[in-house]
Structure 1
Amino acid sequence: MQKYRHLLFDLDGTLADPSEGITKCIAYALEYFGIKTDNLDTLRSWIGPPIKDSLMQIYHFDEAQANLGVEKYRERFTDIGIYENRLFDGVQELLERLKDEGYSIYLATSKPTVFAQRIVEHFKIDTYFDFIGGAGLDDSRPTKGHVIQHVMEETNLSDPSQALMIGDRKYDIIGGQAFHMDTTGLLHGFGSRAELQSAGATYIFDNLAELKKELLFLNSF
């Protein structure tokens, strides 16, 4: 692994496990359309990509139906599902140490910025981020690539060779590659090793502890 200056972190499945809240909110939205979910675990694969895309791809919703589905999802998520969430072990210590080591740290999530901001504030990790970038409630920045572009533009990050995109799904890897960034896949989230390898992740680690060890080792030179 080479040395980097800028670290872009995904949120869901990378820094936090939102599976309870997201799956319950998806089930709530699907129920509105008469679709019953017997096992919430079957919805775990929805975590990562935009909900609208999943509704259109899995249930073949048209755009109007998908937009309504997102509205129903947010109806429960805004005040309930957003807090059915937990940080992975060691996240605060990781961010604090990386900040002390001089890294610039950005959040790049497909979750709307307004929700991402509330989540990191809830967990008291907001101060570690130089910028929090997410999707727009108005369907702007619909892909991870759009979010990464937004982060780069807002932070004047002009040299992607100095940046590392860190996530747990292929969308994080593909998004980083679109801007010629190296990418890291984490296996403690919702993507498999096969998914991350197939997407072309530059590095793959089992968890944040392994990533932390490598980044601190590189920064010691």
Structure 2
Amino acid sequence: MLENRPLILWDLDGTILDASLGILPALEEAFQNRGFAVPEAPVLRRFIGPQILDSLALYTDIPVEYHYEILGEFKMVTYPRHYKNAQLYPGMLELHTELQELGALQGIASQKPEHLVIDVLKSYGLEHLFDVVSGSADDFGQINSHLPRDKPGILRRALSMATSKADVSSSVMVGDRAFDAEAAVSASIPFIGVNWGYASEGELEQFKCPVAADVQELRTLLLTFIQDICSPSVSG
């Protein structure tokens, strides 16, 4: 068991979970149900991860007055029908279990509404592996309306939540998109990227960070991180 518990913070969609099987058909239906053309597939994939409202503004020319209408259709109608189609990436359950057994603290820092993050973790039997869950405020109703919506704020909250449980000075963020890396930079913690998510080609290059090609390489990077900062040493 590690003497100093490191903190490994994870993005969810595109890092732990292939959420495209739920999000993409739900987005397509939301656009269609509201009478708008569905964006091309490469554009639609860029919606996975950030806030939907941000993506609508960045990647479509749909007038802003219709954005909440599309978001509402997605969150209230189409996504609840599809979100359980998501699948764990092969090897992730075993990796999370191994890290927990080593004594590392693990947390989620996701822009998905926090109550949905918790629901997803429970539906895949993962909730016992994560000591910290930091998600976003919901855009509808009063559920967790006090929570941050931006990734840097969500990550900072996760670090604050873990202060009494782990050595937060020994933290790392794992994610698939540039905004995950930007959040890590803003929090002054290292970042490890994964290339099986939803980033555009070359999206993570500017951050000069290690990028794992598969789960085994990610395991090696994380065990090296733990070995470098914690004692006793951990062999990979």
User: Is TM (by shorter chain) over 0.5?
Assistant: yes
- The 3-state SS of whatever aligns with 1:137 is coil
Q: 1:77 to 1:141 in 2, by over 3 A?
A: farther
Q: How does 1:37-56 map to 2 (within 5 A)?
A: 37=38, 40=41, 42-56=43-57
Counterparts of 1:182 and 1:32, CA distance in 2: 42
**Residue by residue, what CA displacement relative to the aligned partner does 1:136-160 show, whole Å, maximum 9, x if unpaired?**
1147422211110221222227965
Q: 1:60 to 1:36 in 2, by over 3 A?
A: closer
2:130 is matched with: 129
Counterparts of 1:78 and 1:22, CA distance in 2: 7
- The 3-state SS of whatever aligns with 2:216 is helix
Q: How does 1:133-144 map to 2 (within 5 A)?
A: 133-138=134-139, 140-144=147-151
Q: 1:180 to 1:62 in 2, by over 3 A?
A: farther
Q: 1:129 to 1:77 in 2, by over 3 A?
A: farther
Question: Following TM superposition, by how much is the alpha carbon of 1:27 offset from its aligned partner in structure 2, in angstroms?
Answer: 1.3
Question: Following TM superposition, by how much is the alpha carbon of 1:39 offset from its aligned partner in structure 2, in angstroms?
Answer: 5.9
1:21 is matched with: 22
1:6 is matched with: 7
**Structure possessing the higher radius of gyration over alpha carbons:** 2
CA contact (8 A) 2:109 2:135 kept: yes
Say whether 1:220 aligns with 2:221: no
Counterparts of 2:216 and 2:78, CA distance in 1: 30
Q: CA RMSD in A?
A: 2.4
Residue identity in the other structure for 1:211: L
Identity among equivalent positions (%) equals 23
Which of 157, 178, 189 is equivalent to 1:170? 178
Residue identity in the other structure for 1:170: A
Q: 1:201 to 1:49 in 2, by over 3 A?
A: farther
- The 3-state SS of whatever aligns with 1:107 is strand
Counterparts of 1:53 and 1:20, CA distance in 2: 21
TM-score normalised per structure 2: 0.83
**Residue by residue, what CA displacement relative to the aligned partner does 1:52-105 show, whole Å, maximum 9, x if unpaired?**
101122224555432222111112355312102000001111111000111110
Counterparts of 2:5 and 2:202, CA distance in 1: 25
Counterparts of 2:5 and 2:191, CA distance in 1: 11
Q: 1:141 to 1:38 in 2, by over 3 A?
A: closer
1:179 is matched with: 187
5+ unaligned residues in a row in structure 1: which ranges? none
TM-score normalised per structure 1: 0.88
